[in-house]
Amino acid sequence: MLGATLGHVRLDKITIVVDDYDRAIGFFTKVLGFELAEDSPSRTNDGRPKRWVVVRPPGGGSGILLAQADGDRQDAAIGNQTGGRVGFFLHVDDFEAAYARLDAAGIEFVAEPRTEEYGRVCVFIDIYGNHWDLIGPA
């Protein structure tokens, strides 16, 4: 029925396809400062073992499921999950401190930070090649 709503809805998780669980956990926890919310044994749809790994920004909110690639098609998606566009947006309270932390960690930035109507912003590339906006107050 058109016009009907689902009621209260929230986005719980998104998936980022990665090459290695532990490498991805290290990047998201040590470089971006996320919390490891879950790292549990799991199984693929056809019964093979895998891990269920979720990281979240400090304080909760939506999580990122780090899914280790399984097969050629998923391998090809690593680092290109949004076709080269910015697909992930990291909002921070202190833009300058976050920028300095990422810069010190060797993160690649696409351009210098700039000020837009909505705040300070700079595009960075994660260890897989995915593009992120780092966004903070002006």
pLDDT tens track for 4-54: 677 888 889 999 999 999 999 999 999 999 999 999 999 989 999 999 999
- 1-78: CATH topology is 2,3-Dihydroxybiphenyl 1,2-Dioxygenase; domain 1 (3.10.180)
The pLDDT value recorded for residue 9 is 83
Q: DSSP secondary structure string, the chain?
A: -TT---SS----EEEEEES-HHHHHHIIIIIS--EEEEEEEEE-TTS-EEEEEEEE-TT--SEEEEEE--SHHHHHHTT-TTTTSEEEEEE-S-HHHHHHHHHHTT-EESS--EEETTEEEEEEE-TTS-EEEEEE--
Q: Can 1-78 and 82-138 be said to share one CATH topology?
A: yes
Structure tokens at 60: 């909760």
* CA–CA gap between residue 107 and residue 71 (Å, rounded): 28
The pLDDT value recorded for residue 60 is 77
Q: Percentage of the chain with pLDDT > 70? A: 97
Query: Is pLDDT at 89 greater than 90 in this prediction?
Result: yes
Query: Is pLDDT at 129 greater than 80 in this prediction?
Result: yes
What pTM did the predictor assign? 0.89
The pLDDT value recorded for residue 59 is 83
pLDDT tens track for 111-128: 999 999 999 999 999 999
C-alpha closest to that of 113 among 124, 128, 127: 124
The pLDDT value recorded for residue 28 is 97
C-alpha closest to that of 68 among 97, 39, 90: 39
Q: Where are the domains of the chain?
A: 1-78, 82-138
The pLDDT value recorded for residue 2 is 64
CATH of 82-138, one of 3.40.190.10, 3.10.180.10, 3.90.1300.10, 3.30.428.10: 3.10.180.10
Q: DSSP secondary structure string, 84-123?
A: TSEEEEEE-S-HHHHHHHHHHTT-EESS--EEETTEEEEE
